[in-house]
């Protein structure tokens, strides 16, 4: 059932992609917990009432750390996105990346 979306785009659900999904879901869950904790801190210690303005303020304050986490994850895994065959052929020809 989970392979159907990948089959439609020509991919497959491999062990590496499953690890990537678990990592992605874990980081998303952690970011949401931190965001809710920040909302709670704004309401309890910041003197804000719980309303749309507080949610917007909290989201704006946490946007930069969330984006930095996402970009660090993306660039940290960038080497895994390159196919191994491309690396082997590049190494065989002795050409720089």
pLDDT tens string for the chain (97 positions)? 555 566 566 666 677 777 777 887 888 888 889 999 999 999 999 888 889 999 899 999 999 988 888 888 777 766 555 555 555 555 556 655 5
User: The whole model's pTM is what?
Assistant: 0.61
Residue-number span of the structural domain to which 8 is assigned: 3-93
The DSSP call for residue 49 is -
Taking the C-alpha atoms of residue 79 and residue 52, their distance in angstroms, rounded to an integer, is 41
Q: Provide the sign of the torsion angle of the four alpha carbons 65, 35, 60, 25, taken in this order.
A: positive
Placement of tokens 């920040």 in the chain: 38
Taking the C-alpha atoms of residue 97 and residue 92, their distance in angstroms, rounded to an integer, is 12
| Helical residues (DSSP H) of the chain, grouped into ranges | 3-8, 15-45, 52-76, 78-81, 84-93
* Amino acid 8: pLDDT: 60
* Amino acid 13: pLDDT: 66
Domain count, the chain: 1
């Amino acid at each position: 059932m989970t392979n159907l979306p990948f089959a439609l785009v020509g991919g497959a659900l491999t062990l590496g992609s499953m690890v990537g999904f678990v990592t992605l879901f874990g980081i998303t869950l952690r970011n949401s917990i931190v965001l809710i904790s920040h909302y709670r801190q704004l309401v309890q210690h910041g003197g804000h009432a719980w309303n749309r303005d507080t949610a917007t303020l909290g989201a704006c304050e946490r946007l930069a750390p969330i984006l930095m986490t996402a970009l660090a994850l993306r660039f940290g895994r960038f080497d895994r996105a390159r196919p191994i065959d491309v690396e082997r052929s590049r190494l065989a020809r002795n050409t720089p990346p």
